[in-house]
Amino acid sequence: MRSDVEFRSEGWTLRGWLYRPDAQDDAAPAIVMAHGFSAVKEQYLDRYAEVFQAAGFGVLVYDHAHFGASEGRPRQEVDPVLQKRGYRDAISFAQTIPWIDPARIGIWGTSYSGGHVIEVAAIDRRVRCVVAQVPFISGSLSAQRRTRSDLVPAQLRRFEADRAARFRGEAPAMLPAVSADPLQPCAMPGPDSYAFFSGTHDFAPDWHNAVTLRSAELSRENEPGSHIARISPTPLLMIVAEDDLLTATDLCLEAFHRALPPKDLVMVPGGHFDPYLWHFDRTSIAARDFFVAHLGATA
């Protein structure tokens, strides 16, 4: 059974879905999930949630503030600090649900939110286990790879001009999330990014191809990988794509090396978006089995 739910976080109402397992004798363990940069819950998170639900888990899936069905102004602003606090408030909300065991909650994140769950698991001991799929590791290192050094000064001037305009009360500057034109600046460059998001239009109409320019500035400041050694003793599963150019494979593997046991690594062929599509069965089952092992549901 799936029902619509909402809860408050940092002054905004966040909205999503709550999945309740069909067979349930005692309080069920639960998984809290949210999507990555600019994405909304309809972009394949329901498929993962259904796999977890079938294994006996309650699942809370929600849209980040400023996106999808959730409140938040300005719209389309990716604020990593706000989104991490949203995860922690989602855990608090899950703990109030009578049929959820408040002592058996895991978190799952992918891409940008894959980085969020690394940090949240490191600082919030209510988290009993964590799955980070193709996680964002370092804003500074990612920025160095995505932006040619000779273009950085102009980019920083755009950030400064946007900040000055917002201080005057003007609307925030916007940036495409993805683009079919390799020469057009966008938040997530590459043909695979454009193909993934444009391919979800029919079933994710709440996704919009835009983020605030400030989202890119905030991304440069986001360093979830710096927390990874502090996750232990909470169990960590990292799912990494072998040819990931968006959340670079080598950055993910280096971060995994710094994590302390208990930890597990699953490698899948392909690029950043292949875990949702071509390797959905493998990634969803790996996450399901990890949650079963550490939260105690029955697969």
Q: Which helix (H) or strand (E) holds 89?
A: helix 80-95
| pLDDT score for 157 | 93
Residue range 147-179, pLDDT digits in tens: 777 777 888 899 999 999 999 999 999 999 999
Residue 285 φ/ψ, nearest 5 degrees: -70, -40
Phi, psi of 175 (to 5 degrees): -140, 135
In the prediction, which pLDDT does 25 show? 61
Residues 268, 249: Cα–Cα separation, whole Å: 11
Question: What are the structural domain ranges in the chain?
Answer: 2-142+222-295
pLDDT single digits (tens) 20-60: 998 766 799 999 999 999 999 999 999 999 999 999 999 99
Q: Is the pTM of this model over 0.85?
A: yes
Q: In this structure, are residues 25 and 81 in contact, taking their beta carbons and an 8 Å threshold?
A: no
User: Contact at 8 Å (CB) between 12 and 161?
Assistant: no
**Segment 105-123, tens digit of pLDDT:** 999 999 999 999 999 999 9
Residues recorded for the chain: 299
Q: What is the pLDDT of residue 298?
A: 61
The neighbour count for residue 298, using CB atoms within 10 Å, is 9
Structure tokens at 263: 């930890």
The SS3 assignment for 297 reads: coil
CATH of domain 2-142+222-295: 3.40.50.1820
pLDDT score for 221: 96
Rg, C-alpha atoms of the chain: 18
Element (H or E) spanning 162, and its range? Answer: helix 152-167
pLDDT (0 to 100) of residue 145 = 82
Q: What is the mean pLDDT of the chain?
A: 96
